[in-house]
Amino acid sequence: MKLAFSTLGVPGVPVAEVVRLAAGNGYQGVELRVHPEEPVHLGLSSLERADVVEAFKAAGVEIVALAGYVRVAAEGDDEPVLAELSELLKLARDLGASYVRVFPGGGEQDRDAADATAARRLGAAAPAAADLGVSILLETHDSHRAGVDAARVVATVGHPRVGAIWDVLHTWLAGEEPVASHAVLAPHLGYVQVKDVASADDLTPLPLGSGVLPLARCVDHLDPQTWVCWEYEKRWHPDAAELPGLLSAGREHLLRIGAPKQ
């Protein structure tokens, strides 16, 4: 497997420090959180985008994905959703990222209505994504937290530039077994987000392997070229331990549980 971590674990940290942490701890890639409070956001100038690219290139670290906050199943007009997604795709093209992350965000809508909205918007954005060389990935999250939910939408779109992210916490919270999640997501899988927590009632991030998530069963059948990204949600849990001191041990844990079985 190829290993990355998300900048959600190091909120607000400058790009140069993110690159140093990745290279120094043996991670081949990074998932960049795209938000106005982060160094990487939709308002970056052309020069600033070029500086980000150069920083990662110089260290041999890949920008795997841009984690945006577009909610493709949200109620309301399509235009603002598609406009934000368009800007996210252009930023990914400029930074050389393979993927952009989107959320479902269907809220309390009827399932069929939320599915239809998400599929319509993803289908509308797919041709532009293809032209830019970027893929849009729907994360297992909120209204579509099970693998079967995300896969249902992506399969409806039926475009090679629209896929899924397997967030293992959310499929676990949905009560879906890892083997079932993998089975439905594998045809559409962009990459996997891993994390660990103490329980369904305490989602404070923990070092990988010290919580209850079935991580070994989640990575067991992955293609060796699949990206596995540690999404340590420090941004939402400021009292959690600092991620930089955990990165090396986290990498070793992932390599250990992902090693070929004898």
pLDDT band at 259 (very low <50, low <70, confident <90, very high): confident
SS (H, E, C) 127-156: HHHHHHCCEEEEECECCECCHHHHHHHHHH
226 φ, ψ to 5°? -75, 135
Per-residue pLDDT reduced to its tens digit, 50-105: 999 999 999 999 999 999 999 999 999 999 999 999 999 999 999 999 999 999 99
* Residue 262 maps to a domain: no
List, in order, residues 6 or more apart from 188 with CB less than 8 Å away: 150, 151, 154, 155, 162, 163, 164
Establish if 119 belongs to a structural domain: yes
Classify residue 95: in a domain, yes or no. Answer: yes
For 184, counting Cβ atoms within 10 Å of its Cβ (0-12 exposed, 13-18 middle, 19+ buried), the class is buried
pLDDT band at 115 (very low <50, low <70, confident <90, very high): very high
Averaged over 159-170, what is the pLDDT? 98
Q: Which domain holds residue 149?
A: 2-257
Condensed to tens digits (0 to 9), the pLDDT of residues 127-142 reads 999 999 999 999 999 9
Structure tokens at 19: 């690159």
pLDDT value, residue 260: 75
Residue 109 forms part of a structural domain: yes
DSSP 27: -
| pLDDT attached to residue 262 | 56
Angle (CA) 186-189-191 rounded to 5° is 125
Q: What radius of gyration do the chain's Cα atoms show?
A: 17
Tens of pLDDT, residues 247-258:
999 999 999 999
pLDDT at 11 over 90: yes
The number of distinct structural domains making up the chain is: 1
In a domain, 140, yes or no: yes
Residue 48: other Cβ atoms inside 10 A: 15
Q: How high does pLDDT run on average in the chain? A: 97
Task: Tell me the pairing of strands 162-167 and 227-230.
Answer: unpaired
- Model confidence at 184, pLDDT cuts 50, 70, 90, reads very high
**Using one digit for the tens of pLDDT, what is the confidence trace for 26-56?**
999 999 999 999 999 999 999 999 999 999 9
pLDDT digits (tens, 9 = 90+) for 209-218: 999 999 999 9
The rounded distance, in Å, linking the Cα atoms of 148 and 186 is 11
Dihedrals φ, ψ of 195, to 5°? -165, 180
Phi, psi of 222 (to 5 degrees): -75, 145
Report if residue 229 sits inside a domain: yes
What's the rounded mean pLDDT across residues 178-197? 98
- Would you state the pLDDT for residue 95? 98
The helix or strand, by DSSP H or E, that contains position 100, with its residue range, turns out to be strand 99-103
CATH code of the domain in which 21 resides: 3.20.20.150
Q: Is 204 inside a domain boundary? A: yes
Average pLDDT over residues 171-184: 98
- Enter the tokens of residue 191: 């990459």
pTM score, two decimals?
0.98
